[in-house]
Structure 1
């Protein structure tokens, strides 16, 4: 596959899976702890477990890989800096040659992972100003959580 940089290497899929599972489990624990203290929705929107950088990196890469498998296509680029970007969904049908650049959605790692794990919803993160999107298709809620 020329020109396409895999977001995660095959040999890292198991590590990625485990990293995402660990991130989600830690985040859910934090969310439950917050809920029991009556913090509720707002706390969930800033939630980020304290885990080593490589775990974050693998969790982001693996979750982007899952997203790419779920909705392949050139139409929307999802960027989670500094660890990865994938293109998903079909391009705009109005352009048969698809020369238009893809719509771009940029998310911070913790925002993306909260969405991937189902801790927060797209609407909540968007309303909180956590999602930067250029283009018409700036709503991935149909694809989340992963």
Structure 2
């Protein structure tokens, strides 16, 4: 069984956010380590805010988590899946983009019941 995600230390989160913002402002790619740290951090916060196992939220290649109360998924492809890239996930978590806008623009794919994560966002 995979290890449970845990929120990162506040100083680590602040540092990674700052470095990603600086990279994006300079039109450079964000460091993979910073993307990984923040992706896992915000997925851990989502897991705390929306406990359950009915929706799988995927942010490849960094992590996936099952959240939201409902029918538990145990094997194979889950019936409810949300998938996005790391930068979009971080923008959603920070409230820089709204859920509906991210889905409408194709930055997020969501299929199945309970995949509207708007009630749980932003995360911080």
| Structure 2 length-normalised TM | 0.78
| Whole-Å separation in 2 of the counterparts to 1:60 and 1:66 | 10
| Whole-Å separation in 2 of the counterparts to 1:71 and 1:116 | 13
What are the equivalent positions in structure 2 for 1:88-103 lying under 5 Å apart?
88-92=67-71, 101-103=78-80
Count how many residue pairs are aligned between Structure 1 and Structure 2.
120
For residues 27-57 of structure 1, give each alpha carbon's deviation from its aligned partner in whole angstroms, at most 9, with x where no partner exists. Answer: 77899x8xxxxxxxxxxxxxx8743210110
Structure 2 residue aligned with 1:21: 14
| Whole-Å separation in 1 of the counterparts to 2:16 and 2:91 | 9
| Whole-Å separation in 2 of the counterparts to 1:123 and 1:27 | 24
| Structure 1 length-normalised TM | 0.68
Unaligned runs of 5+ in 1: 34-47
| Whole-Å separation in 1 of the counterparts to 2:20 and 2:101 | 16
Q: CA deviation at 1:18?
A: 3.8
Distance 1:63 1:6, change over 3 A: same
Unaligned runs of 5+ in 2: none
Any idea what SS the aligned residue of 1:68 has? helix
Contact 2:57 2:66 in 1 (8 A): yes
Which one of 59, 66, 69 corresponds to residue 80 of structure 1? 59
| Whole-Å separation in 1 of the counterparts to 2:20 and 2:32 | 15
Which one of 64, 68, 71 corresponds to residue 50 of structure 2? 71
Structure 2 residue aligned with 1:6: 4
> After TM superposition, where is structure 1 displaced by more than 4 Å over at least 4 residues in a row?
22-31, 97-100
Which one of 9, 29, 37 corresponds to residue 58 of structure 1? 37
Structure 1 residue aligned with 2:111: 134
